[in-house]
């Protein structure tokens, strides 16, 4: 297990020495550590004790993730976005606890607990398992870690990185210090990290798809896990009207980002597309331009061609199939919310991590919608996989292009779903345009990461949406033809044989 090196980060910026003869200054707390202070400390503290190699650090839109040999630790960024606000310690703590609670459903044994990032009176940072009874507002004294029973939500000592709270070697301490009662300066929690077991990279679904090594039995096992999850997930029903309104609201937000069209009437700025457009930075640093309303909109040069036409077609399809979608509203559950291949690890049994923990509304889904999303993403990954000659195929393996359909078939059969033909293309088109919007919205950040990556990826998802809408048109055409044939068969002339 990777251990923690003994690292102290003094954080006493802004202090000045008292003038001669002046009264001693009041012992104030050290200044609050910045995000950079925390990242610098974690890179040192989580380095490999044998080699000194720093942990692998991955930055996401909302977090920093540090990977050691067998653990992963996630630190939330103090950011505010459309549907979340992590700017306070209490909000980040709550979200960490929600991440533990919700991911226990599909990844039992993977999420181990919380780690407290603490600062002592001298400004030094330390990383410790969650202390008993500790919540973000309370101070504690170093050394007050409970022994014996581990409180609920804390990290057992065997599951934390070793050397987490190292002690100075006795021989290196001055003689007077060895016999003195050790001082225990006040320590306070300045942030929280989620501690996880590190999953084997080679067992993640995208890696297995790329290698052409997904077995039918593995997808069947995943289907059993997901079926059980959806069957016992907390019900989260909506009225048909509310469900349709939510779908249309998301499409209006898609339109605002993907086409730059004005915000729809009747939507409050903080609840509708306007909020998603307020995250832009200064002109010249991001590919966005100011609109007449003062909101930042994306530069037309980065907007995906065909998005407006695809959104028009989808709006018409939502109206055409309102009855079908409304019939799904009563069966919504509190699902995963972000069911993508990169969150699936095909262990025995499979686990699914990174549930969307910060929004109940975004987890409130139709199980078929979530499965359509996973199938769509698997299909996109399969497009990059070269076809293998039939003679070289492992009889146990599943063609990458068949993973999504096989999973859908297995899950719907186990759930007892008679899948209406129009439902999969409808949900696929909705998910594809949502993904295009979220991808392109990265360019509205003040300092977008890898800005050249997002426009081509958004165009790819718009193309997926267009293909799904073509699929839906074909389904509608078949159903219309069948309806005509049925009507003709039931007409009086058909029954009597008279013209």
Q: Is the pLDDT of residue 191 over 90?
A: yes
The residue ranking higher by pLDDT, 226 or 397, is 226
Is the Cα torsion angle 176, 177, 181, 185 positive or negative in sign? positive
- Alpha helices by DSSP H, 260-401: 273-276, 307-320, 322-328, 360-363, 367-383
Average pLDDT over all residues of the chain: 81
Lowest mean per-residue pLDDT among 156-160, 186-190, 227-231: 156-160
Q: Where does the pLDDT of residue 388 fall: very low under 50, low under 70, confident under 90, or very high at 90 and above?
A: low
pLDDT value at position 485? 81
Q: What angle do CA 462, 330, 335 make, to 5 degrees?
A: 60
Q: Where does the pLDDT of residue 255 fall: very low under 50, low under 70, confident under 90, or very high at 90 and above?
A: very high
pLDDT value at position 187? 87
Give the list of residues 6+ apart from residue 258 with CB closer than 8 angstroms, or none: 303, 304, 307, 308, 311, 433, 436, 437, 440, 458, 462
Lowest mean per-residue pLDDT among 131-135, 423-427, 453-457, 471-475: 131-135
pLDDT value at position 236? 97
Q: Where does the pLDDT of residue 1 fall: very low under 50, low under 70, confident under 90, or very high at 90 and above?
A: very low
pLDDT value at position 308? 96
Lowest mean per-residue pLDDT among 40-44, 49-53, 152-156, 298-302: 152-156
C-alpha span between 259 and 306 (Å, rounded): 9
pLDDT value at position 407? 97
pLDDT value at position 169? 37
The 8 Å CB, 24+ separation contacts for 390-395 are 394/213, 394/215
Average pLDDT over residues 211-223: 96
Total count of residues recorded for the chain: 499
The number of angstroms, rounded, from the C-alpha of 422 to the middle of its chain's C-alpha atoms is: 28
The residue ranking higher by pLDDT, 155 or 146, is 155
The residue ranking higher by pLDDT, 168 or 51, is 51
Token code pair at residue 239? 């009225």
Give the list of residues 6+ apart from residue 17 with CB closer than 8 angstroms, or none: none
Q: Is the pLDDT of residue 313 over 50?
A: yes
Q: Where are the strands (E) in 169-317, listed by range?
A: 186-197, 288-290, 296-298
Q: Is the pLDDT of residue 165 over 60?
A: no
Which candidate, 37, 86, 171, places its Cα nearest to that of 45?
37
For the chain, domain boundaries? 35-139+154-165+184-198, 202-485
C-alpha span between 29 and 119 (Å, rounded): 9
pLDDT tens-place string over residues 197-209: 999 999 999 999 9
Asked if 320 and 429 touch (Cβ cutoff 8 Å), the reply is no
Average pLDDT over residues 97-116: 97
Q: Is the pLDDT of residue 289 over 80?
A: no
C-alpha span between 399 and 151 (Å, rounded): 47
The residue ranking higher by pLDDT, 494 or 113, is 113
pLDDT tens-place string over residues 318-377: 999 999 999 999 999 999 999 999 999 999 999 999 999 999 999 999 999 999 999 999
Query: What's domain 202-485's architecture?
Result: Alpha-Beta Complex (3.90)
C-alpha span between 494 and 380 (Å, rounded): 47
pLDDT value at position 136? 45
How many CA atoms are closer than 13 Å to the CA of 201, on its beta-carbon side? 7
Which candidate, 430, 405, 434, places its Cα nearest to that of 419?
405
């Amino acid at each position: 297990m990777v251990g923690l090196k003994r690292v102290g980060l003094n954080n006493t910026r802004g202090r000045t020495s008292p003038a001669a003869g002046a009264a001693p200054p009041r012992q104030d707390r050290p200044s609050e550590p910045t995000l950079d202070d925390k990242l610098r400390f974690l890179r040192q503290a989580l380095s490999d004790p044998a080699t000194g190699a720093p942990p692998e650090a991955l930055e996401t839109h909302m977090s920093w993730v540090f990977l050691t040999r067998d653990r992963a630790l996630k630190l939330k960024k103090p950011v505010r976005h459309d549907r979340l606000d992590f700017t306070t310690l209490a909000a980040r703590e709550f979200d960490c606890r929600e991440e533990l609670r919700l991911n226990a459903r599909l990844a039992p044994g993977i999420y181990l607990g919380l780690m407290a990032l603490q600062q002592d009176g001298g400004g030094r940072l330390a990383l410790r398992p969650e202390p008993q009874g500790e919540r973000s507002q309370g101070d504690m004294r170093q050394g007050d870690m409970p022994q014996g029973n581990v409180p609920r939500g804390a990290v057992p000592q065997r599951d934390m990185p070793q050397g987490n709270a190292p002690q100075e070697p006795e021989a290196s301490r001055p003689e007077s210090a060895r016999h003195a009662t050790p001082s225990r300066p006040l320590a306070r929690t300045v942030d929280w990290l989620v501690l996880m077991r590190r999953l084997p990279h080679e067992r993640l679904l995208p890696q297995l798809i790329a290698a052409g090594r997904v077995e039918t039995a593995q997808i069947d096992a995943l289907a059993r896990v997901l079926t059980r999850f959806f069957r016992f997930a907390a019900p989260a029903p909506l009225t048909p009207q509310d469900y349709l309104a939510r779908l249309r609201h998301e499409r209006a937000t898609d339109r605002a980002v993907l086409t730059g069209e004005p915000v729809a009437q009747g939507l409050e700025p903080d609840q509708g597309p306007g909020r998603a457009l307020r995250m832009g930075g200064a002109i010249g640093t991001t590919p966005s331009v100011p609109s007449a309303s003062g909101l930042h909109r994306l530069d037309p040069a980065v907007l995906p061609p065909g998005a407006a036409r695809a959104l028009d077609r989808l709006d018409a399809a939502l109206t055409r199939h309102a009855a079908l979608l409304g019939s799904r509203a009563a069966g919504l559950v509190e699902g995963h919310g972000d069911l993508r291949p990169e969150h699936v690890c095909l262990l025995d049994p499979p686990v699914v991590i990174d549930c969307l923990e910060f929004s109940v509304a975004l987890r409130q889904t139709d199980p078929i919608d979530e499965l359509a999303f996973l199938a769509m993403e698997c299909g996109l990954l399969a497009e990059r996989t070269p076809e293998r000659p039939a003679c070289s195929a492992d009889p146990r393996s599943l063609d990458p292009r068949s993973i999504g359909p096989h999973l859908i078939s297995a899950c719907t059969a186990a759930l007892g779903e008679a899948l209406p033909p129009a439902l999969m293309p409808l949900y696929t088109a909705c998910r594809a345009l949502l993904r295009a919007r979220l991808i392109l919205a990265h360019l509205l950040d003040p300092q977008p990461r890898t800005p050249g990556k997002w426009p081509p990826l958004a165009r790819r998802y718009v193309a997926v949406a267009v293909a799904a809408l073509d699929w839906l048109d074909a389904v509608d055409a078949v159903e219309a033809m069948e309806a005509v044939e049925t009507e003709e068969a039931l007409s009086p002339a058909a029954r009597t044989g008279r013209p």
